[in-house]
């Protein structure tokens, strides 16, 4: 019965944003495995060395291999943000659909609460969370999940509301269908595209937030690294145009801009 639906609706694999996301995830998982040096080891006496054959992206402010550190940093940025985004969006989408379906008091209370949370700028919430709980990986992930959940809730609720108002939901309800069927078969299949696009956007926001926090020195703490902290620790190399600072900065730019461009192109075609 599932197969009676065309495959492309179930597997949006041919779409650029999905391919891009898969690429980054793959890099995040395999990156630490293929890194040439351990990330914390000082391997050269020259600091801020330029690109060379031994150190493909030169060395950093302590003489460590930049490529290895970049691979580890990319891995933590992508994985932490991906986990946070998935948590935020699954909770947000679930609550959003429920609010749209139940309406009434449930909807009002949830929406009021989410509006309250959303009215605090994200960087501020991040800072407050770090100030209170310290900056460990679970705190950062949970904080990002909480910060971006209301946005996902809002998007899903709007999408679900426009679907719930349609007559096919009405006729399913008149038939007496259960909530589970309504959500899984009637509502969700009609909002997968926009919800996935929203996940992509929230992921970009998460990368921005994590990088900003790390850049400010209150994100991921050494010895762990991410793209923001890599940029921060090598900021002095800016004067020499060292790859140590340019590489992580460029990686963030490619990650966020690339994904956003792909999502934007997708959105315009629809």
> Site for other proteins (CB under 8 A): which residue of 170, 179, 184, 236?
170
Nearest to 263 by CA among 205, 182, 213: 205
> Site for other proteins (CB under 8 A): which residue of 74, 76, 152, 211?
211
Under the binding rule (CB under 8 A), the answer on residue 34 touching other proteins is no
Under the binding rule (CB under 8 A), the answer on residue 8 touching other proteins is no
CB of residue 46 to other proteins, shortest distance in Å: 20
Under the binding rule (CB under 8 A), the answer on residue 189 touching other proteins is yes
d(CA 142, CA 144): 5
Distance of CA 68 to the CA centre of its chain: 22
Under the binding rule (CB under 8 A), the answer on residue 109 touching other proteins is no
Under the binding rule (CB under 8 A), the answer on residue 137 touching other proteins is no
Determine contact, residues 156/191, Cβ cutoff 8 Å.
Answer: yes
State the residue for tokens 């990368």: 207
Q: Which residues are paired to 59 by β-bridges?
A: 65
32-40, 67-75, 86-94, 174-182 -> range binding other proteins (CB under 8 A): 174-182
Distance of CA 74 to the CA centre of its chain: 13
| Binding-residue total with other proteins (CB under 8 A) | 63
d(CA 59, CA 37): 11
Angle at 242 between CA 241 and CA 248, to 5 degrees: 110
Q: What's the distance, Cα to Cα, between the start and end of the chain in Å?
A: 28
Q: Which is nearer to other proteins, 29 or 257 (CB)?
A: 257
Contacting residues toward other proteins, per CB under 8 A: 1, 4-6, 9, 115-116, 119-124, 127-134, 166-168, 170-171, 173-177, 185-186, 189-190, 204, 207-209, 211-212, 215-218, 228, 231, 235, 238-239, 245, 249, 252-253, 256-257, 259-261, 264, 268-270
């Amino acid at each position: 019965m599932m197969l009676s639906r065309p495959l492309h609706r179930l597997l949006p694999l041919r779409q650029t944003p999905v391919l891009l996301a898969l690429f980054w995830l793959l890099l995040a998982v395999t990156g630490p495995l293929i890194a040439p040096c351990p990330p914390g080891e000082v391997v050269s006496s020259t600091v801020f060395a330029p690109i060379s054959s031994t150190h493909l992206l030169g060395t950093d402010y302590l003489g460590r291999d930049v490529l290895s550190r970049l691979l580890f940093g990319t891995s933590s940025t992508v994985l932490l943000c991906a986990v946070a985004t998935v948590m935020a969006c699954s909770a947000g989408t679930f609550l959003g659909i429920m609010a749209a379906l139940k309406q009434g008091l449930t909807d009002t209370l949830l929406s009021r609460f989410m509006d309250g949370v959303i009215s605090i700028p994200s960087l501020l919430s991040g800072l407050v969370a770090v100030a209170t709980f310290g900056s460990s990986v679970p705190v950062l992930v949970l904080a990002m999940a909480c910060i971006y959940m209301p946005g996902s809730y809002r998007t899903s609720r709007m999408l679900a509301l426009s679907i719930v108002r349609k007559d096919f939901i009405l006729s399913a309800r008149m038939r007496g269908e259960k909530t589970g069927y309504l959500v899984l078969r009637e509502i969700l299949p009609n909002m997968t595209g926009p919800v996935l696009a929203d996940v992509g956007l929230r992921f970009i926001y998460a990368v921005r937030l994590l990088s900003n926090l790390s850049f400010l020195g209150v994100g991921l703490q050494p010895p762990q690294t991410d793209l923001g902290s890599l940029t921060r620790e090598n900021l002095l190399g800016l004067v020499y145009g060292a790859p140590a600072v340019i590489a992580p900065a460029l990686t963030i730019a490619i990650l966020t801009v690339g994904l956003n461009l792909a999502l934007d192109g997708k959105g315009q075609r629809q």
